[in-house]
Structure 1
Amino acid sequence: MSTRITTPFGAQSTAAEVIAGVELAGRRAIVTGAASGIGVETARALASAGAEVTLAVRDTAAGRRVASEISASTGSEKVLVAALDLADQGSVAAFVAGWTGALDILIANAGIMATPELRTAEGWELQFATNHLGHFALITGLHEALARAGHARVVVVSSVGHINGEVLFDDIDFLRHPYDPWAAYSQSKTANILFAVAAAERWAADGITVNALNPGRIWGTGLSRHMDVPPASFDPAGGTGTSEKTVEQGAATSILLAASPLVEGVSGRYFEDCQEAEPLTPGIRRGVAPYALDPQKAERLWEVSLDRLRAARP
C-alpha cells in the first residue's frame, strides 16, 4: 500500500501561495479552458513563476483578453493563445499538429457539466466526448512532446461528482437508456481519474507523471453555465465544513500537481484540497471512489477510447 501524500497546503490555500518560490523559467505549459474560471488563475500562477503558458480555448477572442490581463498582472510576455474545441476531434488534431518542441506541463482543465442531451458529429454524448475523449486525444497526441521534456507533468481536473457513478461501459452514449445529465457528468469525471491511472502506468518510463484532482466547490464558473441555480446536490463538502472556494483557491490543487516540488515523481493519484484524497466514505461527498482507481477499469477505458478515436478518423 502506497503512502498517502500530504502537504502543508489545504482547502483555503490559493494558487499564488502554492506557486510561491517555484521557478518555472524555460518551462512550457498548456492549460485547456483557460478563458474563464479556475483556468484563468491556473494560467496566471504558472505565468507568474516564469513559464510560457498557452491558453487552449474555444473562444480565442476571450482567450486574448485573458492573456492580456494575465500579462499585465504578472509581467509575463509569454502568455499565448491557441484555438481548441475538445468536442471537435478535428480541432484537437489541428492543435496537436501545430505544437512544436517539448511540453513540460499540460493541465486538462476544460470541462462541461449537466448539459442537455447533445452529441458530437461522431454521435458521442457531449460531456463524455468533451471532458474525457477530447482530453484523451489531446494528451496522447502530445505524448511525444511530453516525453521530450523529461519529468513532464499532466494534470487532469476531475470532480467530486465522480462518486455519483462509474463509466457506463455498456451504454456510454445513452443510446439504449434515457439520458441523465448527471450520470453523463459523473461518468466523464470518473473517466478523468481512470485516465490518470492508466497513463501513469504507461508513461512512467518517459518520466511523465499524471494525476487527477477535485478542485472543490466553486459556483459561478463557466462550468455551471447550463444551470440557473446550484442544485441541491451541488455540495461536495457533504457536511464536512468545507465552504465554497474562490477561483484562486480552486486552482491551488492544479498548481500543486503541475509545479510543486512537494509532489515530484508522484503519479496515478487523485487529490483534493492539496492533499491526496482519502478513500470515499459512504454518505460523505469527499474522497475517491474505489472504481475510479481500478487499474482494470482504467485499462478498459483506455482501449475503448483508442477504439473510438480510430473509428472517428477519416
Structure 2
Amino acid sequence: MIETQFGFSSTAAEVVEGLDLTDKRVVVTGASSGIGVETARALASAGAEVTLAVRDVAAGEKTAAGIGGTVHTAKLDLTDLSSVEDFTRGWRGPLDVLIANAGVMATPERYTEQGWEWQFATNHLGHFALATGLHGALKAAGGARVVSVTSRGHMLSPVVFDDVHYAFRRYEPWGAYGQSKTANVLFAVEATRRWADDGITANAVMPGAILTNLQRHIGPSDVDPTITKSVEQGAATSVFVATSPLLRGIGGRYFDDCAETRTVDRRDEAPPMRGVARYALDPGNAARLWTYSETLLAKA
C-alpha cells in the first residue's frame, strides 16, 4: 500500500511543491473548469508544459491565460470520435502524462449518434479512444503515466456487460454514472497490464466531493458538506499520482486522499468517500471491458 504525508486537506500546490517537471509534457482533459484547472495550474507551476484538452476552446484559452507558464489549449470533444481522432493525430512528440479528468455526472437519459449511453461514452469510451490513440506518444516518453479520474460513485454499479447502454433496463442516472466510473478504474488495471512493458502505467483516482459544474444535475441535498473539498484539494490526488516518485513503475491501483485505498466487498465496509470495490479492480472484468471497448470503436 502506498501511503504519504499528504491527506484529505492537502492541495495540489502542496503535493507538487519542490518537484521539477521541466521538459515534462502533460495533457489534462476537461481543464477549463473545476479540478482540471487546478490540476493544470499545479503542474504548470512546477515547470510542465501543459495542454488543456477542452470542448470550449475560448474558455480553455481564458483558463490558460490565467494559469501562466507554458500552457496550450486544444479542441477535444470526447463524445465526438472525429474530434478525438483529430486530437491524437495532431499530437507531436512524446507525452509524459495523460490526465483523463473530463466527465459528466448523473445526466438525464441521452445517447450518442452510435447509440451509446452518454455517461459511458463520455467518461469511458472517449478517454479510451484518446489514450489508445496516444499510445505511441506515451511510449515514446519512457515512464509515462495515465491518470484516470474516477469516483466513489463506482460503488453504485459494476459495468453491466449484458446491457451497458440501457437497451432493456430502465435508465437510472446514478447507475449509469456508477458503471462509467467503474470503467475508469478497470481501464487503469488493463492499461497497466498491456502497456507496462512500454513504460506506461495507469492509476485511478478519486478526487473527493467537490462542488463544480460536474454536479449541475444534482441538488445541494445530495452533497454532504462535512466531506466536501475545495477544488485545490480535489486536484491533489490527480497531481500526486501524476508526479510522485513513489509511483514510478506502479499502476493498476486506486487512490484517494493522496494514498492507495483498501479494497472492499461491500460499500458499507468503507468510510465515507474511501475504498474501492473489488469488482472495479478485477483483471477479468478489465480485460473484458478493453475488448468490448475496442469492438465498439471499431464499429463506430
With normalisation by structure 1, the TM-score equals 0.92
AA of the residue aligned to 2:3: T
CA distance in 1, matches of 2:123, 2:129: 11
Q: CA RMSD of the aligned region, Å?
A: 1.2
CA distance in 2, matches of 1:274, 1:83: 30
AA of the residue aligned to 1:309: L
1:250 to 234, 238, 242: 234
Which structure has greater helix proportion?
A: 2
1:186 to 178, 201, 205: 178
AA of the residue aligned to 2:60: G
Q: Does 1:15 align with 2:12?
A: yes
**Cross-structure match for 1:197:** 189
CA distance in 1, matches of 2:280, 2:24: 31
CA distance in 2, matches of 1:86, 1:143: 17
Q: Does 1:5 align with 2:18?
A: no
**Cross-structure match for 2:260:** 276
Q: Secondary structure at the match of 2:52?
A: strand
Q: Does 1:295 align with 2:283?
A: yes
Q: Does 1:224 align with 2:209?
A: no
1:261 to 241, 245, 249: 245
Q: Secondary structure at the match of 2:163?
A: coil
AA of the residue aligned to 1:180: E
Mind listing any 5+ residue stretches in structure 1 that lack a counterpart?
A: none
Q: Does 1:306 align with 2:294?
A: yes
CA distance in 1, matches of 2:247, 2:288: 27
2:162 to 147, 170, 173: 170
Shift of 1:208: 0.7
Q: Secondary structure at the match of 2:170?
A: coil
AA of the residue aligned to 1:41: E
Q: Does 1:82 align with 2:70?
A: no
Q: Does 1:145 align with 2:137?
A: yes
**Over residues 87-144 of structure 1, what are the superposed CA-to-partner deviations in whole Å (9 max), with x where a residue is unaligned?**
1111101111110110001000000001111111111000000000000000010000
Q: Secondary structure at the match of 1:30?
A: strand
Residues 1:231 and 1:165: Cα distance change in structure 2 (over 3 Å): farther
1:101 to 93, 96, 105: 93
Q: Secondary structure at the match of 2:202?
A: strand
Q: Does 1:120 align with 2:112?
A: yes
Shift of 1:231: 4.5
Residues 1:198 and 1:231: Cα distance change in structure 2 (over 3 Å): farther
AA of the residue aligned to 1:48: S
CA distance in 1, matches of 2:77, 2:220: 26
Shift of 1:262: 2.3
CA distance in 2, matches of 1:42, 1:162: 22
Q: Secondary structure at the match of 1:134?
A: helix
CA distance in 2, matches of 1:49, 1:84: 25
**Cross-structure match for 2:25:** 28
Q: Secondary structure at the match of 1:225?
A: helix
Fraction of identical pairs, as percent: 60
CA distance in 2, matches of 1:299, 1:271: 21
CA distance in 2, matches of 1:266, 1:36: 29
**Over residues 133-189 of structure 1, what are the superposed CA-to-partner deviations in whole Å (9 max), with x where a residue is unaligned?**
000000010000000000011000000000111001011110111100000000000
Q: Secondary structure at the match of 1:68?
A: helix
CA distance in 2, matches of 1:16, 1:166: 34
Q: How many residues align?
A: 296
Q: Are the aligned partners of 2:267 and 2:277 in contact in 1 as well (CA < 8 Å)?
A: no
CA distance in 2, matches of 1:224, 1:133: 21
1:111 to 95, 98, 103: 103
With normalisation by structure 2, the TM-score equals 0.96
CA distance in 1, matches of 2:37, 2:215: 16
AA of the residue aligned to 1:38: I
Q: Secondary structure at the match of 1:53?
A: strand
AA of the residue aligned to 1:301: L
CA distance in 1, matches of 2:177, 2:35: 18
